[in-house]
C-alpha cells in the first residue's frame, strides 16, 4: 500500500487545477445559463495535452495512464461539470474503443486527430426505446457491396453536434440479440447522417446532448470497429472504463461544492459566530468530506487497476455508484449550508446540485451499476 500520488500525477493535477481556475471557472455560470459549449476552452485543453492523456505519443497522446486521466476529469469538474464530461466522453467513450479495437489505420485516421484536439469524439448506444436494456437497440445496418447502410436513431449523445466522430452500435444480425450487434465509426459528414433535437437539460448545460439520426447512411466497410457481431461486447467494455470517468466527474462536482460550503461557513456569522463553528454545520462538512474521500479512493483504485491491466469492471461500477450518490448528497448539503443564498444563482452551489444529478443516471443508472456489481458477485 502506498497512499501517495506520484510526482507526475501531482504535477498534472496542479496544471489542470490552475487551468480550470483561470480558464474554465470564470465563464462556467454564464455558459450554464446560455447552454453554450466553448470551443476555445476545448482547444486550450488540446494545447495542454489533455485530450489524449492515456494514449501513446504515436497516437497523439501524452503516454500517461488512466489515473492521470481521472484526475484531469475531477479537476475540471470541480469548477465545471460540463467541461469534465466533454473530456470524459471524448476520451473514455470514443477514444478508448478506437484504441482497444481499432486497426492501425483507424487509430491514425481517427484516434490521433482526436487526441490532438483536431477532432471531437462521441458515442451512440442509447435509443428512444432502449436505455438500460442496451441490447434492445433497433438501429440496423445492412451490407451492400463495399459499405453498410445504417437506419435508426440514437439519443442522449454527449458531445452531439460538436463531435466529428461517433462510435455507434447497430444490429447487423437481428436473429441474434447480443452477438448480432456491430460497432461502427461514423464521420459527421457521411451522407445520411444528421444531428437531431438538442436536449434542454437540468444540469451540465454547457455540454451539448443531442439525438443523432441515420437515414440510409452509407458507411464504408473499413469503418467497422472490431469484428462483426462484437459490438455489444465493445459497448459494454467501453462503459466499464467510462463509468469511472463519470465517478471522477462526480468526485470533482462534490469537491467543488464542499470547497464553496467550507469557505462560506467560515465567513457567514449567525448567533455571533461563524456557522462553521456550530455543530449543525461543522458535522455536515465533516460527513461531506469523508464521503468525498471514500469516493475518490474508489475512483483512483479503479483507474489504477485499469492502468495495471487488471480487471476493473466491478470496481468501476462501484466507484460510479458511490461517487454519483456522494455528489448528489454533498451538493444538496452544500445548498443547505448556504441556506436561502444557496438556492439562488448568486452562488455556484445550485449549479453543482443540478449537475450532480446526471451522474446517477448516465453511463448506466445507479440501478444498473447495482445489477453489474451483483452479477459479478454471484456469477
Ligand atoms: N465486458 C465484456 N462483455 C460483457 C460485459 C462487459 N462488461 N457485459 C456484458 N458482456 C457480454 C456478456 O458476457 C454476454 O456475452 P455472452 O453472451 O458471450 O455470454 C453478453 O455481453 C450479454 O451480456 P448480458 O447477458 O449481461 O446482457 P444484458 O442484456 O443482461 O445487459 C446490462 C447487461 C449490464 C444491463 C447492459 O445492458 C447495460 O450496461 N445497460 C446499461 C446501458 C448504459 O449504461 N447506457 C448508457 C449509455 S452511454 C450514455 O450514458 C450517454 C453518454 O454519451 C454519456
**DSSP character string of 98-126:** HHHH--HHHIIIIIHHHHTTSS-EEEE--
Q: Which residue among 123, 210, 236 is best mutated to probe the pocket of ligand 1, counting the most ligand atoms within 8 A of its Cβ?
A: 236
Residue 317 Cβ < 6 Å to ligand 1: no
For residue 262, give the C-alpha cell.
Answer: 467550507
Residue 1 has pLDDT above 80, yes or no: no
Residue 62 has pLDDT above 80, yes or no: yes
Those residues with Cβ within 8 angstroms of residue 8's Cβ, 6 or more apart along the chain or in another chain: 64, 68
Q: How far apart are CA 164 and CA 170, in angstroms?
A: 19
Q: In the chain, how long is the greatest CA-to-CA distance?
A: 79
Annotated catalytic residue within 74, 75, 127, 363: 363
Residue 3 confidence (pLDDT): 83
Residue 309 has pLDDT above 80, yes or no: yes
- Centroid of ligand 1 to alpha carbon of 21 (angstroms): 37
Which residue puts its alpha carbon closest to atom 21 of ligand 1?
A: 233
Residue 2 has pLDDT above 80, yes or no: no
Q: What was the ipTM of the complex prediction?
A: 0.98
What element of type H or E holds 10?
helix 7-19
Residue 312 Cβ < 6 Å to ligand 1: no
Banded pLDDT at 254 (limits 50, 70, 90)? very high
Residue 177 Cβ < 6 Å to ligand 1: no
| Backbone dihedral angles phi then psi of residue 323, each to the nearest 5 degrees | -70, -40
Residue 360 confidence (pLDDT): 98
Which residue puts its alpha carbon closest to atom 19 of ligand 1?
A: 178
What element of type H or E holds 232?
helix 231-267
pTM to 2 decimal places: 0.98
Rounded to 5 degrees, what angle do the CA atoms 112, 114, 226 make?
A: 70
Residue 198 confidence (pLDDT): 98
Give the residue-averaged pLDDT of 10-32. 98
Give the residue-averaged pLDDT of 306-329. 98
pLDDT digits (tens, 9 = 90+) for 339-376: 999 999 999 999 999 999 999 999 999 999 999 999 99
Residue 6 confidence (pLDDT): 96
Residue 346 confidence (pLDDT): 97
Report the chain's mean pLDDT, rounded to a whole number.
98
Q: Which residue among 120, 182, 233 is best mutated to probe the pocket of ligand 1, counting the most ligand atoms within 8 A of its Cβ?
A: 233
Banded pLDDT at 131 (limits 50, 70, 90)? very high
Give the residue-averaged pLDDT of 117-128. 98
Pairing type for strands 121-124 and 165-171 reads parallel
Residue 66 confidence (pLDDT): 98
Residue 177 has pLDDT above 90, yes or no: no
* 361 CA: nearest ligand 1 atom: 50
Residue 373 Cβ < 6 Å to ligand 1: no
267 is catalytic: no
Give the residue-averaged pLDDT of 170-187. 96
Give the residue-averaged pLDDT of 43-53. 98
Q: How far apart are CA 239 and CA 245, in angstroms?
A: 9
Locate the DSSP E strands across 76-172. Answer: 121-124, 140-144, 147-158, 165-171
Give the residue-averaged pLDDT of 66-87. 98
pLDDT digits (tens, 9 = 90+) for 211-253: 999 999 999 999 999 999 999 999 999 999 999 999 999 999 9
| Residue whose C-alpha cell is 441556506 | 339
Q: Do 133 and 161 form a contact (C-beta atoms < 8 A)? A: no
φ/ψ bin of 365: left (φ > 0), alpha (ψ from -120 to 50), beta (otherwise): beta
Amino acid at each position: 500500500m502506498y497512499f501517495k500520488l506520484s510526482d507526475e500525477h501531482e504535477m498534472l493535477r496542479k496544471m489542470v487545477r490552475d487551468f480550470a481556475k483561470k480558464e474554465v471557472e470564470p465563464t462556467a455560470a454564464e455558459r450554464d445559463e446560455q447552454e453554450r459549449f466553448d470551443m476555445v476552452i476545448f482547444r486550450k485543453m488540446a494545447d495542454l495535452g489533455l485530450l489524449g492523456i492515456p494514449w501513446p505519443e504515436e497516437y497523439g497522446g501524452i503516454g500517461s495512464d488512466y489515473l492521470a486521466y481521472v484526475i484531469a476529469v475531477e479537476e475540471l469538474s470541480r469548477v465545471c461539470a460540463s467541461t469534465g464530461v466533454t473530456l470524459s466522453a471524448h476520451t473514455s467513450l470514443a477514444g478508448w474503443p478506437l484504441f482497444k479495437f481499432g486497426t492501425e489505420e483507424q487509430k491514425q485516421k481517427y484516434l490521433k486527430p482526436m487526441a490532438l484536439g483536431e477532432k471531437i469524439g462521441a458515442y451512440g448506444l442509447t435509443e428512444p426505446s432502449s436505455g438500460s436494456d442496451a441490447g434492445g437497440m433497433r438501429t440496423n445496418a445492412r451490407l451492400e457491396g463495399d459499405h453498410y447502410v445504417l437506419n435508426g436513431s440514437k439519443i442522449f449523445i454527449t458531445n452531439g453536434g460538436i463531435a466529428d466522430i461517433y462510435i455507434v452500435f447497430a444490429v447487423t444480425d437481428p436473429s441474434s440479440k447480443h452477438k448480432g450487434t456491430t460497432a461502427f465509426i461514423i464521420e459527421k459528414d457521411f451522407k445520411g447522417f444528421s444531428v437531431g433535437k438538442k436536449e434542454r437539460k437540468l444540469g451540465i448545460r454547457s455540454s451539448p446532448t443531442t439525438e443523432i439520426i441515420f437515414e440510409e447512411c452509407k458507411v464504408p466497410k473499413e469503418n467497422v470497429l472490431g469484428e462483426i457481431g462484437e459490438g455489444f461486447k465493445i459497448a459494454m467494455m467501453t462503459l466499464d472504463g467510462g463509468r469511472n470517468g463519470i465517478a471522477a466527474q462526480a468526485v470533482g462536482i462534490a469537491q467543488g461544492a464542499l470547497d464553496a460550503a467550507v469557505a462560506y461557513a467560515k465567513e457567514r456569522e449567525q448567533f455571533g459566530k461563524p456557522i462553521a463553528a456550530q455543530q449543525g454545520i461543522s458535522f455536515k462538512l465533516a460527513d461531506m468530506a469523508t464521503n468525498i474521500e471514500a469516493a475518490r479512493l474508489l475512483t483512483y483504485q479503479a483507474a489504477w487497476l485499469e492502468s495495471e491491466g487488471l480487471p476493473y469492471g466491478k470496481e468501476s461500477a462501484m466507484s460510479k455508484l458511490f461517487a454519483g450518490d456522494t455528489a448528489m448528497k454533498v451538493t444538496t448539503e452544500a445548498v443547505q449550508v448556504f441556506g436561502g443564498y444557496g438556492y439562488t444563482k448568486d452562488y455556484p452551489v445550485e449549479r453543482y446540485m443540478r449537475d450532480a444529478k446526471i451522474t446517477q443516471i448516465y453511463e448506466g443508472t445507479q440501478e444498473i451499476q447495482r445489477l453489474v456489481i451483483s452479477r459479478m458477485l454471484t456469477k
